[in-house]
Structure 1
């Protein structure tokens, strides 16, 4: 509304009280006293009157020429012409020393070997070097060794190729032994009359009865209404699904196991 009023208005003639804005309280650090104490404590630690008192250098100790250049260490002594400095600490790896100027070379050593014919014979009898097998895996011609690539069937040429590992043989023996012990225990219990084994006819009849019950439940399930909007309908549908699922588990159990034992009690 103030912006809509013109500059010259009768309301501007009324004197108004000047409103002073109140300032926020000044921030005071909580560490003010500790900072003051530390400042007063270390204030006069290095306090001096005038320039620092340092020893004045002597006029005789000035910088001489070439004093900052690096110098090699002086040798402890000179070797004679007959002495030689050791080059290697290992005596076996040390090369033979250079013969002295006063040593006499071996004279009168001769040989009848024809080096030209020998080299020709060695070149003729030499076996040609076979190229190393490689394979290329890119259009730029990147080469790799074929033997270490895993593409060479070198493992089928081993003596033990195709043989059953020892740990598998031991495991099969242990499984067979455990199965034999279990069969012996079952036979013993059968003799005692604690369990009864179902015959093939009984097993087949039980399996057929379970499948017939499942067919009846499935026929009833297929006859349910499409829209299940009441609680009794939902409960009836869930009961049929649970019974059909249980029958499916029983049928699968009997089909997977050919031998079935039943306790007499």
Structure 2
């Protein structure tokens, strides 16, 4: 019989702790936006997406790939805590200021009459307020119209190109200049890959083409002297011979010119 209880179970077993793996760290720089990102391009001259080629250093512009405020949290280096400036005991307690006497702004109103004061009754004025108001309005100077609307023609920057448009224009010019330099460099590279074909090699090519033309022409003559082209293979063979003869004549005419330049870049493809 087998029993689960055993004296060997009292011996403590050794605890195995697997080794801790290293923290994952990407090989790509963290400051580069992902390919095809649409984040932080609202206030820039970029299109709706950025970094389409997956470049680590996007070229063609002098502004950053994202807006100044479009960041996830504080940028690196913004928070620099000082080890000497920490909260000490008693610094967080509030200290009450000394009370000051309240001073009301402006003139005070007339005091309320006392309970034993009695107003003077029966005062009558001889002033004719209607006539006095009419005379004051007649003698008063007319009011000048007040222009409350702002006159934008008197602004300092009126009629001038805004700064952001000048910045965008400079960025577009820089991108255009960069593209133009790349095109010129590519054209110069293509010009360097071209060379002039010498007369000896040109004569050898013409002789080889004429020899091949004679072979194809001989085969074509054998097909034309047949009385009836009864099969599809013979018809196709005749058409292929006609096309090949036309192409050979075209190549011979092209090589018969005085100057022949060979492009090695197109020949590689």
TM-score after normalising by structure 1: 0.27
If you compute each CA radius of gyration, which structure gives the higher value, 1 or 2? 1
TM-score after normalising by structure 2: 0.27
Instruction: Compare relative contact order (CA 8 Å, sep 6+) and give the higher one, 1 or 2.
Output: 2
